[in-house]
Structure 1
Amino acid sequence: MSVKADIHSQILGGLANATFPIKTPEELLAAFPAGADTKCKSGDCEVTAGEAGKLLKPEDFPFKNAKQIADILVERAGL
């Protein structure tokens, strides 16, 4: 599995129990199991939800599902 696919999968897993829509960055961080400290790791690549959240823009919200969040984050992270 590629780093991109692995991180994407981990984001989906981390948001498996999230309630949608997610309307704010604060709601998004709260949806992750360990909040901003939730880590996704693949090979030498490691990122926390807090770091990944910096890639989002106000106009990205609201999110309707976890796939939408994962797609944007891996794309903007350049994975």
Structure 2
Amino acid sequence: MPVKDQIHAQIAGALAGATFPIATPDDLIAAFPDGANTTCRVGDLKMTAGEAGTLLKPSDFPFKSATDVADVIVSRAGL
């Protein structure tokens, strides 16, 4: 499975228990199991939720699902 798909799956999985819609960046970070320190890792690539949050724009909100969040982060990360 490509790195992009693995990271996408990890982000979506980390948010599986979150309540959507999520309307703010702070609410999104809080929805991750370890907050900003939640880490997705594939081989040598590592990304925390805090780092991923810097890729988001106010216009991205509200997010309607974990898949939506993962789609935007993976796309903007250039994976």
Flag whether TM exceeds 0.5 (same fold).
yes
**Distance in 2, Cα, partners of 1:42 & 1:53:** 18
The runs of 4+ residues in structure 1 deviating greater than 4 Å are none
**Distance in 1, Cα, partners of 2:77 & 2:32:** 18
Q: TM-score, normalised by structure 2?
A: 0.99
Unaligned runs of 5+ in 1: none
Q: 1:12, CA displacement in angstroms?
A: 0.8
Q: Identical aligned pairs, as a percentage?
A: 65
**Distance in 1, Cα, partners of 2:71 & 2:43:** 19
Q: TM-score, normalised by structure 1?
A: 0.99
Unaligned runs of 5+ in 2: none
Name the counterpart of 1:46.
46
> Aligned with 1:21: secondary structure?
coil
Name the counterpart of 1:73.
73
